[in-house]
Structure 1
Amino acid sequence: MIGRKAAALGLSGVLGGVLAVAAPTATASAGTVRRAAVPYDYREIAVPSTGGVKLDGNVFVPRTPGPHPAVVFISSWSLEDHEYIAQAAKLADKGYIVLSYTARGFYDSGGGIDVAGPDDWADGSKAIDWLIAHTDVDRARIGMAGLSYGSGISQMVAARDTRVAAVVAMDTWGDMIQSLYANETRHMGVYALLNVAGRLTGRFSPRTAQIMDDFGANRNIPDLLAWGAVRSPGTYRARLNARKVPVFLSNGYGETLFPPNQLLAHFTGLTGPKRLDLSIGDHATANATGLLGVPSRTWDDAQRWFDRYLTGARNGIDREPAISSETAWTRTVERYRTVASMTKRTEHLDLGAAGSLGAAAPAGWAKPLPAGADSGATAGLPIISNGLQTFGIPNQVATAQISRWAAGVWTTPVLTATRRVRGIPDLTLSVTPSAKSATLVSYLYDVDAAGTGRLIGQNAYTLLKAAPGKTVEVPIRLQAAAYDVPAGHRLMLVVDTKDPLYGDADVPGSTVTVRSPSSLDLPLG
């Protein structure tokens, strides 16, 4: 069995320090942990679940008389139940019972990895059963929470178990297919990370192993789509709405695992109390420090969310605008009531023959792109390249090194005023493929006077079963951004046919020609 302390990921050294601070020292009595300085007891537990599976976990129980509100934390992919120790201790200090467990199939939890499927939903409900059987919990005040993997499971448990009174889902998804297979394009960089990490730290169920193999081999796609729909919180949104479950969501503008567009759609569709915190960075990079107890805007809001909806605290979070949005690179936080209100107007920019982006372009131009050629424009390494933006390091490229043979490049004149990009840039390309399939990858850059381009957003689109020689209109929604492009800089759009982040459908020796009319609609705040 794989060791539970996550040594393979180097996690033990990090969490060990947190455990030393947050968890009290052990006594000899019944595995319970006590220390006079803290108002709770702590112990390691095993939660029985379906199929004879036992889930490895821990629980904080206040020493004061109950009944107490409670929060159930579900571990992230390839992490384990001690992930939330610091945040759990903060909640326990305030009188919450907090149970954390390792998702099935990982480390010392039994069973096989179900990838947020029905077995995982059952596990969440069994954790609530355990609370009711073993603690003085208030059955009307139980919350579910998780970061990444545990966040999606939390939403789907809440959709099915009426005992869940509130949800915190951080770095989460609403649509699994749009996260991993949007625009019929496989997100291979992310798939590789999940596949390798899952096999190193857990055990795939036979069904999961089949899906992972099929995704990597690009086969049985209808089966993949059906599998993903079952594992999408958005599929069960009507159930959340029917009970008006308070749902707190968070995401990063540079997310490569669960890109923001799909979560914006999920959030918009929720009709109960809701909140969305958006940060600069990639998957979990803005919230990882909160796992160590470091002050965090999103974790602070998450605790306020539970205080409001599980304890009834009048802390004002329910009266604030529902969206908190961090801006690159100023790091200012703007607040909006709806996703639509983030965009005040749209600037229409035509793509021109001479690489111009802006003025109305003459008709008749065409730019052939060789299939399968990487131009040097890049989305970067999953998690890492955009994740470094959380810490002030941009995902950037020297634009002079982008191959004009392998890519179409369009640039605005030098901007005379700041462009406040807020929302989803919509790119419309007229394209003529010479083969039956092709992939297009588009990038939007902020380019300074030295020619250094900082990535604002990107996305890919795959044409399957295309008619060679026939021109079609391709709508590509770049991922949402909150980005100020300063005066004196330029906007640059790059379109090529290959990026390591994606699995392409390019046919060797073929071309895909971008032609007029093509345009970019830029959302401005």
Structure 2
Amino acid sequence: MRTTRPRTDRIRIRTTSLVATVIAALAAVLLPVATVQAASAAGTVRHGLSRPDYSYADAVREAVWVETGRDDDGDGRTDRVAADIVRPREPAAAGRKVPVIMDASPYYSCCGRGNEGQLKTYDDQGRMVQAPLYYDNYFVPRGYAVVLVDLAGTNRSDGCVDVGGPSDIGSAKAVIDWLNGRAKGWTSRTGSRPASARWSTGDVGMIGKSWDGTIANGVAATGVRGLRTIVPISAISSWYDYYFQQGAALYGSGPDWLSDYVESPAARARCGAVQQRIVDGAPRSGDWTRFWSERDYTKDAGKVRASVFAVHGMQDLNVRTKHFGQWWSALAAHGVERKVWLSQTGHVDPFDFRRDAWVSALHRWFDHYLLGVRNGVEREPGADVERAPDRWTTDRSWPPAGTEPTRLNLRPGAVPGQGGLSTAPAVPGSTAAFTDTPQEWEEDWAAGADTPSDSRAVFTTGTLKRDLRLSGSGTVTVTASSSTTSAHLSAVLVDLGPDTVRDFLGAKEGIVDLATRSCWGESTEGDSACFRDTATDAADVTHTVVSRGWADLGHAASAWQGRPLVPGRAYTATVTLAATDHVVPAGHRLALIVAGTDGGMVEPPDTTPTVTLDLARSRALLPLVGGARGLAAAAPHAPAAQRVADVPPAPRRTATTVPTGR
């Protein structure tokens, strides 16, 4: 197992000695003008970075309750959401204003944030003592305010949780409006003393993981003025795709359970009507309803004014990369400035898998988009991709230039259910069949890819002579008939060959905790800047699932409403594969597995069908770097019949359905 060397006592200390002052003054004279900027709201900027010139211990800590313009909890008054603020005292005293880093979350009292599950804590005057995560410790000394918002219906906020809908998004947007003088704020939850944000420039950067990052996506999609950038980490872009994929219900409970999970006791007692609207609007049928349309941020990507720095684990089985891929494509279609990091982890924050590089990148990103520092971050490569544990590559854009959707046909093999995947012409009249087996899942199918089975059909390339890179989102279109009135489809891309990868199926989805801590910013007695170090959790594997997608065959004709299947009738469905970036190395094979229920990921249909594929009318469209020519160079010949081997089943895993974001 490969691990990173622990680093301890990494504390940022502000030097105030006379010697340091003299050195800084000399540097300002000797260095080129482009690398030194005058004092700003963030204090001194040197070498393109804001410096920790302000006292964290003396920072202003206050709470403001902002009106949302709604009364979702039905108590007869406008709902107010709580915003806990930590900001440097010195700029306000000098009449200077500071920008804001905001994390709006439902988790500040129920579940915690970050790898250590930190909660907000308060003093006897109701001021926040511990602000979860490192944003305040690191950025407040550098001239930023950090604002942590309790979403409506959670912690100290009024209102009701509506799981990514108008209440969730509106409560965070209202705080941005208040920071820009467009909404009313008060110094208490029920009082009449107004609070203003005269200390703020009104420029806001939203950040957060999981539900928090989802809120950043949703607020950006409103086009609210003042939101300059967002940093969504493992974030949802359409809530329908969190609970379903193309009509197939993903394993777990619905959004009504999630809202009840995070709501404060007071909200839970008053929000019965909202809860019922969630139940009514989100049936487990997989049908698309108005409820889901309200929570689809991709449709409003054209309203986004903010730049976007997205981060996602390519093996995230909680918030799957379908969310990142469709959001990225929608932003690209409207020319939104954007950057991405794609890791080999599951649902993990970059602070816990690439800490040094992450804090440095985030620092420069916020300095540029919130302080206007000319540090060139907008001209740097647009994508960082983790190729192997702790080994990263960069691309100017993502997907990289030369990536083309490439058609591969599904061809029969000498052994039933063991076919080929190539650009060779389809074979008229050829078929493959499988019987839905919910006891198995994608890891079982991949581990036994070379063993004939009635539970799935496998199509592989020959052994690759050169590396083959997939980058982006693909599709698999099948024409299929079912022996019963219902059927689900799973399409899984697999790299068949040995490798060492992050163990995303491990307890912490690719990382392990260490006994040491490292410090990022300044601390107080109640809020430490020191966080548990982590290292890579690696595993040796015989195969790697690269991408997956699911669909209900009964929703093939329309996403709006599923229909019972007519047994024996052929239906054509296109399954969208989750976005990925993976290099299948020379000596390996690329496999496409088509099956029924992906156990632990997708709930089974109400029947147990046998599904027959018409191979001549089925195909994969994959995002290959180099397109068809690249594929021809890597796999010049169609594969022969694959060998039969006895491969033990993979360990079973059930995916979580709660985007806890820890």
Whether these two folds match at TM > 0.5 is yes
Q: Paired residue for 1:138, among 200, 207, 223?
A: 200
**CA separation of 1:246 and 1:453: change in aligned 2, threshold 3 A:** closer
Q: Paired residue for 1:470, among 569, 578, 588?
A: 569
- Does residue 1:150 correspond to 2:215, yes or no? no
- Residue type at the aligned position of 2:464: L
Shift of 1:365: 2.6
Q: Which residue of 2 aligns with 1:493?
A: 592
Choose between structure 1 and 2 for higher RCO, CA contacts under 8 A separated by at least 6 residues. 2
Q: Paired residue for 1:426, among 475, 483, 504?
A: 475
Please give the secondary structure, in 1, of the residue aligned with 2:573.
strand
Q: Are the counterparts in 2 of residues 376 and 403 from structure 1 also a CA contact under 8 Å?
A: no
Alpha-carbon displacement from aligned partner over 1:237-277 (angstroms, at most 9, x marks no partner) = 2322xxx4323333222233243332232332342332233
Shift of 1:106: 2.7
**CA separation of 1:299 and 1:479: change in aligned 2, threshold 3 A:** farther
- Does residue 1:407 correspond to 2:442, yes or no? no
Q: How does 1:337-486 map to 2 (within 5 A)?
A: 337-339=397-399, 341=401, 343=403, 346=406, 348-354=408-414, 355-359=418-422, 360=424, 362-371=427-436, 373-374=437-438, 376-378=440-442, 398-399=447-448, 404-448=453-497, 452-464=542-554, 465=563, 466-486=565-585
**CA separation of 1:129 and 1:363: change in aligned 2, threshold 3 A:** closer
- Residue type at the aligned position of 2:363: Q
Q: Are the counterparts in 2 of residues 40 and 60 from structure 1 also a CA contact under 8 Å?
A: no
Q: Which residue of 2 aligns with 1:70?
A: 100
- Does residue 1:60 correspond to 2:67, yes or no? no
Q: Are the counterparts in 2 of residues 277 and 323 from structure 1 also a CA contact under 8 Å?
A: yes
Q: Which residue of 1 aligns with 2:510?
A: none
- Which is worse superposed, 48-57 or 451-460? 48-57
- Residue type at the aligned position of 1:139: T
- Does residue 1:163 correspond to 2:258, yes or no? no
Shift of 1:441: 0.9
**CA separation of 1:198 and 1:263: change in aligned 2, threshold 3 A:** same
Please give the secondary structure, in 1, of the residue aligned with 2:391.
coil
Q: Are the counterparts in 2 of residues 71 and 97 from structure 1 also a CA contact under 8 Å?
A: yes
Looking at secondary structure, tell me which structure has more helix per residue.
1
Q: How does 1:208-287 map to 2 (within 5 A)?
A: 209-210=275-276, 213=279, 218-219=284-285, 221-222=287-288, 225-240=289-304, 244-256=305-317, 257-260=319-322, 261-283=325-347, 285-287=348-350
**CA separation of 1:140 and 1:105: change in aligned 2, threshold 3 A:** closer
Q: How does 1:293-312 map to 2 (within 5 A)?
A: 295=355, 297-312=357-372
Q: TM-score, normalised by structure 1?
A: 0.77
Aligned length: 468
**CA separation of 1:339 and 1:486: change in aligned 2, threshold 3 A:** closer
Structure 1 stretches of 5 or more lacking a match? 1-19, 23-35, 381-395
Q: Are the counterparts in 1 of residues 66 and 82 from structure 2 also a CA contact under 8 Å?
A: no
Cα-Cα RMSD: 3.6
Please give the secondary structure, in 2, of the residue aligned with 1:448.
strand
**CA separation of 1:339 and 1:199: change in aligned 2, threshold 3 A:** same
- Residue type at the aligned position of 2:263: G
Structure 2 stretches of 5 or more lacking a match? 1-10, 14-53, 72-77, 113-118, 121-129, 182-194, 500-540, 555-562, 626-662
- Residue type at the aligned position of 2:235: T
Inter-partner Cα distance in structure 2 for 1:157 and 1:374:
38
**CA separation of 1:323 and 1:137: change in aligned 2, threshold 3 A:** farther
Please give the secondary structure, in 1, of the residue aligned with 2:372.
coil
Which structure has the greater CA radius of gyration? 2
Inter-partner Cα distance in structure 1 for 2:551 and 2:146:
43
Please give the secondary structure, in 2, of the residue aligned with 1:221.
coil
Inter-partner Cα distance in structure 2 for 1:416 and 1:156:
44
Alpha-carbon displacement from aligned partner over 1:135-187 (angstroms, at most 9, x marks no partner) = 54333423333322222323433425323233332222333323433312222
Q: TM-score, normalised by structure 2?
A: 0.63
Shift of 1:87: 1.7
Alpha-carbon displacement from aligned partner over 1:65-86 (angstroms, at most 9, x marks no partner) = 2211222221255445566431
Inter-partner Cα distance in structure 1 for 2:103 and 2:260:
23
Q: Paired residue for 1:319, among 354, 379, 388?
A: 379
Q: Paired residue for 1:43, among 26, 49, 61?
A: 61
Alpha-carbon displacement from aligned partner over 1:30-68 (angstroms, at most 9, x marks no partner) = xxxxxx963651535252434454544432111222211
**CA separation of 1:272 and 1:364: change in aligned 2, threshold 3 A:** closer
Q: Are the counterparts in 2 of residues 497 and 506 from structure 1 also a CA contact under 8 Å?
A: no
Percent sequence identity over matched residues? 22
- Residue type at the aligned position of 1:95: G
- Which is worse superposed, 341-350 or 408-417? 341-350
Q: Are the counterparts in 1 of residues 493 and 548 from structure 2 also a CA contact under 8 Å?
A: yes
**CA separation of 1:235 and 1:362: change in aligned 2, threshold 3 A:** closer
**CA separation of 1:215 and 1:181: change in aligned 2, threshold 3 A:** farther
Inter-partner Cα distance in structure 2 for 1:340 and 1:21:
37
Inter-partner Cα distance in structure 1 for 2:612 and 2:139:
57
- Residue type at the aligned position of 2:598: D
Inter-partner Cα distance in structure 2 for 1:211 and 1:352:
49
Q: Are the counterparts in 1 of residues 316 and 346 from structure 2 also a CA contact under 8 Å?
A: yes
- Residue type at the aligned position of 2:432: K
**CA separation of 1:40 and 1:308: change in aligned 2, threshold 3 A:** farther
Inter-partner Cα distance in structure 2 for 1:358 and 1:143:
45
Inter-partner Cα distance in structure 1 for 2:277 and 2:466:
49
Alpha-carbon displacement from aligned partner over 1:337-380 (angstroms, at most 9, x marks no partner) = 25473725736343324313235353323222223x13634269
Please give the secondary structure, in 2, of the residue aligned with 1:356.
strand
Q: Which residue of 2 aligns with 1:393?
A: none
Q: Paired residue for 1:116, among 164, 168, 174?
A: 164
- Which is worse superposed, 252-261 or 436-445? 252-261
- Does residue 1:519 correspond to 2:616, yes or no? no
- Residue type at the aligned position of 2:547: G
Alpha-carbon displacement from aligned partner over 1:439-460 (angstroms, at most 9, x marks no partner) = 1112121222699322111111
